[in-house]
Amino acid sequence: MRGGKGGGLLVAGTTSDAGKSVVTAGICRWLVRKGLKVAPFKGQNMSLNSFVTREGAEIGRAQAMQAQAARVEPTALMNPVLLKPGGDRSSQVVLMGRPVGELSAKGYHGGRQKELFEPVMACLEELRSTYDAVICEGAGSPAEINLRRTDIVNMGVARAAKLPVVVVGDIDRGGVFAQFFGTTALLSPEDQSLVAGYLVNKFRGDVSLLEPGLDMLYGLTGRRTFGVLPYAHGLGIDEEDGLRVSLRGTVRESVVAPPVGADVLRVAVCAVPLMSNFTDVDALAAEPGVVVRFVDRPEELVDADLVVVPGTRGTVKALAWLRERGLADALARRAAEGRPVLGICGGFQALGERIEDEVESKAGVVDGLGLLPVRVRFGVEKTLARPVGEALGERVEGYEIHHGVADVRGGTPFLDGCRVGSVWGTHWHGSLESDGFRRAFLREVAAAAGRRFVPAPDTSFGALREEQLDRLGDLIEEHADTDALLRLIEEGAPTGLPFVPPGAP
């Protein structure tokens, strides 16, 4: 490795959602299977899908997933800056796992971002001094020319750490050759010197039909394509930026297995604004016979056996949305009829009697839906924890990320929340990943819904996740030039890469 440091690579993308997160995870899993000690890294992440490390730090869930791919414990070093959007123009800034303030996009890019460059690079250097290789993930596109001056996640990191860069493009969207060429041609000569080549993602069909285009791309840029990764169905790996555009009707992918019992179980997830940690329902989708859909209309709750009100970065905004859409009345009818409802984190808060919020929305006292005997007061300090407990006779592990403090005034205790009839509420994310508890909970739901659904006796969410991560490693190992990638990681970008005009304006 170079200069006594661990090797490294930056996985950039032509666009958001090009596949950077899963490619990074796949490279991590491939390398760790080769016997290398590997860590993921993303200097700055913007996501509402987060995770709590064992030391109580909040990081992007994608980096936690990549750490699992690398078979290491996730830490704040792997994602030193996390931005959690609170609206169209502002985000909470989380530094080294702790919130440090709320900033507008203009305020962040206007100065604060530059201040964070030093701690970001210090984290990367610490990881490189400890691991054989650090696989870094970029954000969005490295060719956002309006943001290059303050960049702390793409070429800014690559330049400072002298990392080679591989650019990932999603061919399923179309226009991938223009994206590769344009991304390269909009970078400065110094940045271009680190862009070693490209990875095509989500290809369907005969690779031989693509090869003439790859040859022409090499002729235009002097850069090779390191692999063509096929479109892979059913990965179900944690997404970073949330589900795209409209959530209505979106179905979470599930295992292809028939239900054990006579009936399927239908789960409707209310697609609340600023939804966070929607991956909580992935463990439900992994169960044979459970169908999970995201919905935004009251009529879509009618045939649901379970309705989930998920976490949100804007509990008061979510409450207003539920009322405006008619979903609040539909939830009240369900509760009165004894039909199952589960509120998680912000969803749990919304199901309560009252919210006092001078922190998140600054709306003061707001009435909740009144389905649970809970009052919530938002505090300045954020609760970040990894609790362990018991519910329905089963051991449960979870994680907490919230400003709201719940005063539970009745009902049957349920994790840190409560249950009244068929309405459950808890602040715990990730509880449904505990296999025994998930099965017990689904049995309760099926009984209340009158469904002849039987949970599979042997579904292991952890084992399924490991299988998915191995599939990502297989994609890299089988469809990428791993020898060339390993040379990049160990030796850096090749010298003499040609400049592609016009370069940065």
DSSP 284-312: HHTSTTEEEEEE-SGGGGTT-SEEEE-EE
105: tokens are: 């996009």
**CA 23, CA 135: separation in Å to the nearest integer?**
10
Q: Which amino acid is at 32?
A: V
479 belongs to the catalytic site: no
301: tokens are: 């709750």
What helix, strand, coil percent values describe the chain, rounded to 5?
Answer: 35, 30, 35
345 belongs to the catalytic site: yes
Could you say which of 345, 402, 403, 427 is catalytic? 345
H helix or E strand, kind and range, residue 216: helix 207-221
Three-state SS for 416-465 is: CEEEECCEEEECCECHHHCHHHHHHHHHHHHHHHCCCCCCCCCCCHHHHH
DSSP helix/strand/coil, 217: helix
Handedness of CA 337, 342, 345, 347 (dihedral sign): negative
Could you say which of 402, 403, 427, 429 is catalytic? 429
The phi and psi torsions of 86 (rounded to 5 degrees) equal -115, 0
Catalytic residues: 345, 429
